Amino acid sequence: MEENGTMSAFVGISDKLIGAVGTPKSGDQDVAIYALGIVRDGVITGEDPTTRGRIHFSRTLDAQDAAWCTRILTAMAVADQPVSRAEAEALFEINAAAAERIDDGQFDDLFAKAIVHHLAAASGMPAPSRTIALSPDTSIESWAPSRAADLNMEAVEWIASQMRRKLRGNRTVIGLVAAIIGVAALPMTQLPNLFDIGM
């Protein structure tokens, strides 16, 4: 990828972060995934480009970490694309890395909306652009799928497996995602898998 190619679309995020990201040779979402990995590493260690200039304890997610995730996921280069599975997985990893939260729920809101945005796309349903769907000012209920019967069950099962392995007891996100994907409407054979996550 050229210096003025995909990376230039992410310049609004931060020259420091873009310098650290380097120049991956694939598409815009790959750059976003890589940048989310840098945020995850900063959450884990309390160091790295996303934590410079402030006190940041390891395994802590603060408001600036949540803001990094928002800027990465809503960068102009990816704003009109659905949240990919790899981006959703990167968010699961950030969530799992953060034992302590001091962000007033910003990340949980973004996280749940991004997961549901991915699910809607995987189910062939329309969803607003990321800048609308992931905005803290937009209610997830205003655009999220309303019928579990319309959802791609493979995507639902993938989300449930990620929640079982990586949610660290985050009841806010568990409850929100479960409500949106319509736990009550899932076939009875699917319910034990979801109950394993602490519902």
Say which residue, 47 or 68, is predicted with more confidence: 68
pLDDT of 62 higher than 50: yes
Average confidence (pLDDT) over 134-151: 85
What pLDDT, on the 0 to 100 scale, is given for residue 47?
A: 82
What pLDDT, on the 0 to 100 scale, is given for residue 6?
A: 38
Say which residue, 180 or 192, is predicted with more confidence: 180
pLDDT digits (tens, 9 = 90+) for 166-175: 665 566 666 6
105 burial type by CB count under 10 A (0-12 exposed, 13-18 middle, 19+ buried): middle
What pLDDT, on the 0 to 100 scale, is given for residue 121?
A: 93
pLDDT digits (tens, 9 = 90+) for 104-141: 999 999 999 999 999 999 999 988 999 999 999 999 88
pTM above 0.85, yes or no: no
What pLDDT, on the 0 to 100 scale, is given for residue 145?
A: 82
User: Is the CB of residue 50 less than 8 Å from the CB of residue 68?
Assistant: yes
**C-alpha distances out from residue 197 to 16, 61, 103, Å:** 37, 22, 23
Q: How far apart are CA 138 and CA 160, in angstroms?
A: 24
pLDDT of 19 higher than 70: no
Q: How far apart are CA 135 and CA 153, in angstroms?
A: 26
The domains of the chain are located at 6-144
Worst-scoring range by mean pLDDT, 80-89, 117-126, 133-142, 144-153?
144-153
